[in-house]
Chains A and B, each alone.
Chain A
């Protein structure tokens, strides 16, 4: 059974810091991995999708890497801003999405 874990569960940092959020999964047989952002009481915003054959994807200040063989992905956020405060979820796609436990990020001015 696929299990997805995210570390840390919560993170509070001053703005300007570079951040690394971690995601690990137990079964490497995935089609792709996706990172989402969720604001309180809201739906999901897709940030980055990495296909299983890819190593990384970049969008603006965000960079996501994937090491399928070791069952790990990281989301790197450069120069964090208060507007980045949200919960970040990773999800692996095995024809259905299995979500991780999430990292609640707070960036304070």
Chain B
């Protein structure tokens, strides 16, 4: 149990376009979902925390108007990178947590902006 999926696994887009990444908890209801970003050979950096039905809480330095997070249901959160630029190219990983349990991580999405 406790499987988290992400879609797509890889995406290439042109500079200036927007990209949506989905994160789903497949066999449990996630009260909280987290979005992380990982640059090459670096560790994971938390971008934002979202609770179902509430606005996301963004970490310092993360532009909330650029990285739109929606957590409309207990099994789905989406991250939209708006007006993407090459510097947004990164590995984006989500995780999901149900009340009182640990976080379960998705397989990640590789975003390349050309």
CB within 8 Å of B: which residues of A? 32, 34, 36, 41-44, 46, 49, 89, 91, 93, 96-102, 104
Contacts and interface: CB of A to CB of B under 8 A. Distances in A.
A97 B103 CA distance: 9
Given A96-B49, A97-B34, A43 B43 contact: no
Contacts of A93: 102
Given A42-B107, A43-B93, A43-B106, A99 B34 contact: no
Interface of B: 34, 41-46, 49, 91, 93, 95, 102-108, 110
Contacts of A42: 107-108
Decide if the interface of chain A is mainly helix, strand, loop or mixed. strand
Decide if the interface of chain B is mainly helix, strand, loop or mixed. strand
Nearest to B93: A43
A40 to B, nearest CB: 10
Which of A98, A99, A101 has the most chain B CB within a 10 Å cutoff? A99
B105 A101 contact: no
Contacts of B91: 41
